[in-house]
């Protein structure tokens, strides 16, 4: 595992966002969901796509607070321009489980 400095870690901008809209993404190579996430203030709403279908449906994602990297360059995934990287960890089967604060926090809060 490569070590990074504290300054390098702080260069990664990880924020809380609230899912405002979610839709199936059948055009994706692997099952995925399109997400619209509100990061509040200066960042506003951003789009993403994530392979979350093992544990989540679009309906249960709406209103959920998630964590995402907001300062990566946008990436084209099929017909969706993914503007943020939604963060999760694998379960025992390798399926994504979203990282989420366990207490309500405002949209746009920065991880530090």
Task: Find the CATH number of the domain harbouring 58.
Answer: 2.40.50.140
**Residue 8 falls inside a structural domain:** no
Percent of the chain predicted with pLDDT > 90: 88
- pLDDT of the residue at 60: 97
**Residue 59 falls inside a structural domain:** yes
Can you give the residue range of the structural domain that contains 46?
14-98
- pLDDT of the residue at 27: 85
pLDDT at 1 exceeding the cut of 90: no
In sequence order, which residues have a C-beta less than 8 Å from that of residue 18 and are 6 or more positions away? 37, 38, 63, 64, 65, 66, 107
CA geometry: angle 11, 52, 94, nearest 5 deg = 85
pLDDT at 80 exceeding the cut of 90: no
- pLDDT of the residue at 79: 84
**Residue 106 falls inside a structural domain:** no
Give the chain's domain count. Answer: 1
Burial call 92-111: b when 16+ CB within 10 Å, e when fewer: eeeebebeeeeeeeebbbeb
pLDDT-derived band at 47 (thresholds 50, 70, 90) equals very high
pLDDT-derived band at 102 (thresholds 50, 70, 90) equals very high
In sequence order, which residues have a C-beta less than 8 Å from that of residue 27 and are 6 or more positions away? 78, 79
């Amino acid at each position: 595992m490569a070590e990074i400095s504290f300054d390098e870690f702080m260069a990664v901008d990880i924020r809380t966002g609230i899912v405002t809209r979610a839709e199936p993404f059948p055009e994706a190579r692997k099952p995925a969901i399109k997400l619209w996430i509100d990061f509040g203030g200066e960042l506003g709403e951003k789009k993403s796509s994530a392979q979350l279908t093992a544990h989540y449906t679009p309906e249960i994602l709406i209103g959920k607070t998630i964590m995402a990297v907001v300062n990566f360059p946008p990436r084209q995934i099929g017909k969706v321009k993914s503007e943020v990287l939604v963060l999760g960890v694998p379960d025992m089967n390798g399926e994504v489980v979203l990282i989420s604060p366990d207490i309500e926090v405002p949209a746009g809060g920065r991880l530090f």
